[in-house]
A and B are shown apart, each in its own frame.
Chain A
Amino acid sequence: MDEPEDAELMRRYAAGDARAFERLYARHRGALHRFLVRQTRDPEFAGDLFQETWSKVIAYRDRYESRARFRTFLFHVARNCWLDALRARGRDVTWAAATIELDDAVLADPRARGPESLAAGAAAAERLRLALAELPEPQREAFLLHEDAGLTIDEVANVTGVGAETAKSRVRYALAKLRAALADQRDALPEHGATA
C-alpha cells in the first residue's frame, strides 16, 4: 500500500524534509514523464510541463490533503498544466470536457484508419507508438492514465473531469484502436514476408 506512504512523504516534505520529496519524486517521476511525452508527443514541451507540474506540487505542499492518492493529485496537476499550456498556445481544448464520440468506423475496421501511415513490417512497439500518437487526445489521455499511470477508472474520471462511464469508454476505445493497429501489423507481416 503506497497510498498512505505517499501522503506521509508529502506531509514530511511539507514539514521541511527534502529527502521525503526525493523519495516521492523517484516513485512518480517516470510515469509522469512518460505520460506527458506520449500525450504531447513533444519531448521538449513535455519537459516544460514536467517541471511545471512538480513546481506546483512543491508550491502546494502545505495545502495537500490526502483525500485522494498522491498519484491522482499529481496527474491532475499535470493535466491542468498541459491544458493551460494548450490554451496559451491557442489550441482548442473543448474536447477535454466533452464526451467522446465513438468512432465506429475505426472500431469496425481497423484498417480503415490509414494503415499506410503505419509502416508495414515495423515492430509492434513502433506501430503501437504511432497508433497511440494518432489516438484522439481524450482517449490517449484516458489510456495513459489508466494503463500506464495505474489510475483506476474512477481516478481517471476524477482527473479528467468526466463521469466514470465516459472514462471507461475512452479507455476501451483506445484499446480497441491500438489493437486494430497491431492487427494491421500482423496482417502486414505475411504480406511483407511473401514479397520478400
Chain B
Amino acid sequence: MNRRIEPAHEDESRGQYADVRRAYAELGDEPVPPVLDARVLDRARAAVRPARARPRWLVPASLAASVVLAVGVALDVRREAHDERAVESAVVSSEVAAPDAAVGAAADLAVVDANGDVRDADAASAAAAAPGASAAKQRAARERATGNASEARVSVPADLPAAAAPGLPPRPSEPFVAAPPAEAAAPAVAAAPARAAATDGAAVITGEQSARAATAHESAVVQRRATPPVAAATAPALSRSESADAAGTAALATPAPPPPLAPEDWLAKIEALRRAGRTAEADAELARFVRTYPDYLPVVAPR
C-alpha cells in the first residue's frame, strides 16, 4: 500500500481508531485503468503541445514549383505569340501579293526568300532583289505575269540581304506579280512550305504546290487554333518558323486537293491547246500534268 496511513495531527483519537485505520489500509487499492491514464496524459500533452510547424522544405518547394510553373506558362505564351506573328506575317505577305496575283498565270510560281517571307515569283522582284539582274529577265517576268509565261523558276539565294528580302511592304515601283487565280488561290498560306524550302537555300514552288500547301497551311492553322498549346506544338506547318523542315514536310504530307481535271480530260485539254496553236500553254500544262501525275501511263488501245 502506498497510501499514507498516519492521520492528520488534529485527530486526537489517533490511537483510538488505529484498528480502523489498519483495517482500512488492508482494504486494498483501486487501480487506475490504463485507459484512463492514457486519456489523461494524452490530453495533458496535447494541451501544451506547440502548434505543429510546417515542414521546413515546404515553403522552398512551393516557391520552386511556382517559379517552374510561371516560367513554363511564360515560355508557352511567348511561343504562341511568336507563332501568331509568323502566321500574321505570312498572311500580310500574301495579302500584299494578292493584288498582283490577280494578274494571273504567274500564280504557279512562288518565290520564298531565305528569311522565310513569301514573294511572288515575279522576276521583277527577283531582279530588284538581285542587283545584277538583267532587263531581259525583268521583261520575261512581266510576260509571265501577264499570262504569257509558261513556266518560270526563279531562285533566290538564301543569303539574300535583308534589305532585298521582302516580307516587307512591296515597293511601288516593282509590283509583285504573283498569284493565283482561282485554283492556286492561297499564296499567303504557301508561305509555310515555301519558308521551309527557303531555309535550304533557294526555293521555288509552283502554283499547284502552293495550292496544296495553302490547303495544308489552312488546315494547320485551323488545327493549331483549335488545339491546346501542347497539341499545337506538334502541329504541322507554320507553327514553327525555326523548324521549317518539319513544317514543310508536314504541309506536303497533308493530302492535296484533287486536281482540277481528271488525267484524261487534262490531256485532252493539252491536246486542244496544241491544236489551237497555243504551244507554250500546252507545254506548260503538260509540264504541270507530269508533275501532278508523274506515274501516269496513258492507256493505249490495242490495234
Cross-chain contact B30 with A128 (CB below 8 angstroms) = no
Please judge, given known A-B contacts A124-B23, A178-B20, whether A18 and B48 are in contact too, CB under 8 Å.
yes
When A152-B10, A175-B13 are in contact, do A147 and B24 touch as well, CB less than 8 Å? Answer: yes
Among candidates B26, B37, B43, B48, residue contacting A29 with C-beta atoms closer than 8 Å: B37
Report Cα–Cα, A120/B28, bound state, in Å.
20
Q: Verify A54–B43 contact, CB threshold 8 A.
A: yes
Within 8 Å CB of B29, what residues of A?
A: 30, 34
| Contact A33–B30 (Cβ < 8 Å) | yes
A29 engages B19 (CB within 8 Å):
no
Residues of chain A contacted by B41 (CB below 8 angstroms): 21-22, 25
Q: Mark B5-26, 1 if CB is under 8 A from A, else 0.
A: 0011111010001011101101
A70 an interface residue at 8 Å Cβ cutoff? no
Shortest distance in angstroms between A4's beta carbon and chain B's nearest beta carbon? Answer: 18
Annotate A48-90 by CB proximity to B: 1 below 8 A, 0 otherwise: 0011001100110100000000000000000000000000000
CA A59 to CA B24, docked complex, whole Å: 34
Q: Tell me the dominant secondary structure on chain A's binding face.
A: helix
Query: Separation in Å of the A155 CB from the closest CB of chain B?
Result: 8
Q: Is the CB of A25 within 8 A of B40?
A: yes
A54 near B13: Cβ-Cβ < 8 Å: no
Question: Is B276 located at the chain interface by the 8 A CB criterion?
Answer: no
A147 near B36 (CB under 8 angstroms)? Answer: no
Q: Which A residues are in CB contact (< 8 Å) with B3? A: 30-31, 34, 148
Chain A CB within 8 A of B2 CB: yes
CB neighbours of A61 from chain B (8 A): 47
Q: Which residues of A contact B13 (CB under 8 A)?
A: 172, 175
Structural contact, B20 and A38, CB atoms closer than 8 A: no
Task: Check A189 for interface membership: any CB of B closer than 8 A.
Answer: no
A137: shortest Cβ distance to chain B, in Å?
17
Identify the closest chain B residue to A182 (Cβ).
B23
Contacts of A132 in B (CB 8 A): 24, 27
Contact: B17 with A128, CB < 8 Å?
Answer: no
A-B contacts, 7 listed (Cβ < 8 Å): A22-B44, A30-B3, A38-B30, A61-B47, A146-B11, A150-B8, A178-B24
Q: Which residues of A contact B (CB under 8 A)?
A: 13, 16-18, 21-22, 25, 29-31, 33-34, 37-38, 43, 46-47, 50-51, 54-55, 58-59, 61, 124-125, 128-129, 132, 146-148, 150-154, 168, 171-172, 175-176, 178-179, 182
The 8 nearest A-B residue pairs measured at CB: A37-B30, A153-B10, A34-B30, A175-B17, A152-B8, A150-B4, A54-B40, A21-B44
Task: Write the residues of chain B forming the contact surface with A, with a CB cutoff of 8 angstroms.
Answer: 2-4, 7-11, 13, 17, 19-21, 23-24, 26-33, 36-37, 39-41, 43-45, 47-50
